[in-house]
Amino acid sequence: MSALIDAPQADAAEIRSAMEYYARREWTDGLPVVPVTESYLAEFLASTSSGPDEVLFTMPHLNRRLTVRLAAINAAMAGCLPEYFPVVLAAWEAVAKEPYPKRGIWQSTTGTAPLLIVNGPVRGRIGLNSRGNVFGSGFRANATIGRAIRLTAINAFGLRPHQLDQATQATLGKYSACIAENEEESPWEPLHAEHGFDPSSSSVTAMVFRSCMHIEARHTGRPEQLALDLANSIRRTGSLIHEASSALAVLGPEHAALFGEAGWSKDDVRRFIFDNAVNSRAELAAVGKDALSRHTRWRLPAGHPDAIPDQASASDTPDRVPALKTPSSIEVMVAGANNAGVSTIIETFGMRGDTPSIAQVKDLDV
């Protein structure tokens, strides 16, 4: 990929011509991209001590790899400012720790996408939104950092729809999915500190997600009722592909405060959700998901020739089937505005008790 132009005095017509050239070469996500000059690329590379040929990420099954230079070109095309680039690099470092993208999950018919969560002082330094409209538009850093990952997936790895990307319907997050945690209005330690990082450091957590589910709960001041709403949202049968699911609970500050004022810790929230995110055997049988495939471990009807019993069948309560493997299958964070009882359940892929993939943001002052 050679997406660079040399047009220091380019007028509007030349810029439009360059944008159309990029589009004809299929170097876009469907939206216009920023033409990149060698001098502008140099500003991105100057923000890191990593060399331009350093390899950030590989997809062995595609025999392709990502270098710092390619990541910088795509970050610039996405509309990032050079000062965002250390966050983009941390995002790729976190993605590289995830096992699933290497196995082709970004190409899946399920339509998964990368989700980035940013913690620490860098949020304020580059203007990342953690409050109102956190999943929406209006903030350049959120929009372009997330978009940089998608453009790179297209241009470095060839993951274009109808070609190597085989998503049946996909998710809107495939354009961009980057949020910051609202640490200031959380009753708990932030996500990165919970997993061993210095709270004063900046970091990026990478997850693979399938969909987001809006939770509207303005009716109660009881933590048990709110947590049951979250549990019922996670256990819904339409999301049960494998034996167990995993989720990220993005609590609005009002809901987080309700739990915090009741003395609930994050572990208390997780434990309650785990204990109550349970389906009956009859509920699963009604939708043909009461057994597992012996080959894929995906859910299917008990009468299927490939069917084997799930783990719950051998327990003391075979008619109660947990939707989650362990309480740690649920991550909890806070984001959004403190103006309504609204939260989001994000269905994640593969975090069934695994430690999330987190990388520290480096070279901010280079």
Backbone φ, ψ for residue 249 (5° rounding)? -95, 110
Q: What is the pLDDT of residue 126?
A: 97
pLDDT, tens digit (0-9, with 9 covering 90-100), for 287-310: 999 999 999 889 999 999 999 999
Q: Is the separation of the CB atoms in 185 and 256 below 8 Å? A: yes
Q: What is the pLDDT of residue 366?
A: 38
Q: What is the pLDDT of residue 6?
A: 56
Q: What is the pLDDT of residue 103?
A: 62
Low-confidence residues of the chain: pLDDT under 70: 1-10, 101-104, 350-354, 364-366
Q: What is the pLDDT of residue 79?
A: 98
pTM: 0.93
